[in-house]
């Protein structure tokens, strides 16, 4: 089984959105037994909370569930558990590497580096633009799923 972990600052906006979107893509392709998806935060501010209202509403527009999702903080065990640890921005990448004691491991990378954008995913907690974040997340999830499928063949 391939395991993917999305990580952002609080685990209430970007990373749970990516988790839900990729999980939806995986389920629709019948790959749920082959690919596990989760998300986490670099901080502990929202541990145990459901995704942000804006994230839930945006995903609901597209029929994507966030049922059962609760915020959690990144742990050192995650490095062993997950094959891909995907940070939503450069700051997240720095924090992930520091928290996991892995300064330069290839399984840790910035989400949109898989796309032509090669930029950070803006945090809608601050921008208020959940549509822009959703569009970038969908593009990034498609690129990541293609990467995973090409590597497991």
Could you read off the pLDDT of 81-98 as tens digits, one per residue? 999 999 999 999 999 999
User: Each residue of 123-144: pLDDT tens digit?
Assistant: 999 999 999 999 999 999 999 9
Please give the tally of structural domains in the chain.
1
Q: Is 121 helix (H, G, I), strand (E, B) or coil?
A: coil
Q: pLDDT averaged over the chain?
A: 97
Active site residue 43: no
Per-residue pLDDT band for 152 (boundaries 50, 70, 90) equals confident
Instruction: Compute the distance between CA of residue 143 and CA of residue 43 in angstroms, rounded to an integer.
Output: 27
Of 8, 89, 110, 141, which is the active-site residue?
Answer: 8
Whether residue 16 contacts residue 39, with contact meaning beta carbons closer than 8 Å, is answered with yes
Instruction: Compute the distance between CA of residue 5 and CA of residue 29 in angstroms, rounded to an integer.
Output: 19
Estimate to the nearest angstrom the gap between the alpha carbon of 133 and the chain centroid: 12
Instruction: Compute the distance between CA of residue 74 and CA of residue 54 in angstroms, rounded to an integer.
Output: 23
pLDDT above 90 for 117: no
Q: What is the CATH number of the domain that holds 39?
A: 3.40.50.2300
Active site residue 141: no
Its domain, for residue 96, covers 2-152
Of 38, 56, 123, 141, which is the active-site residue?
Answer: 123
């Amino acid at each position: 089984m391939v395991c993917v972990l999305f990580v952002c600052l609080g685990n209430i906006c970007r990373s749970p959105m990516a988790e839900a979107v990729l999980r939806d893509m995986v389920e629709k392709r019948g790959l749920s037994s082959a690919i596990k998806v989760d998300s986490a935060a670099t901080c502990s501010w929202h541990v145990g909370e459901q995704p942000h209202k804006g994230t839930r509403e945006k995903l609901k527009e597209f029929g994507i569930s966030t049922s059962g999702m609760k915020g959690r903080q990144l742990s050192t065990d995650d490095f062993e558990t997950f094959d891909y640890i995907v940070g939503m921005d450069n700051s997240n990448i720095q924090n992930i590497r520091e928290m996991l004691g892995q300064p330069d491991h290839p399984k840790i990378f910035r989400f949109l580096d898989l796309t032509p954008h090669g930029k950070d995913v803006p945090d809608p907690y601050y921008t208020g633009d959940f549509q822009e974040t959703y569009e970038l997340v969908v593009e990034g999830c498609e690129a990541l799923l293609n990467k995973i499928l090409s590597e497991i063949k």
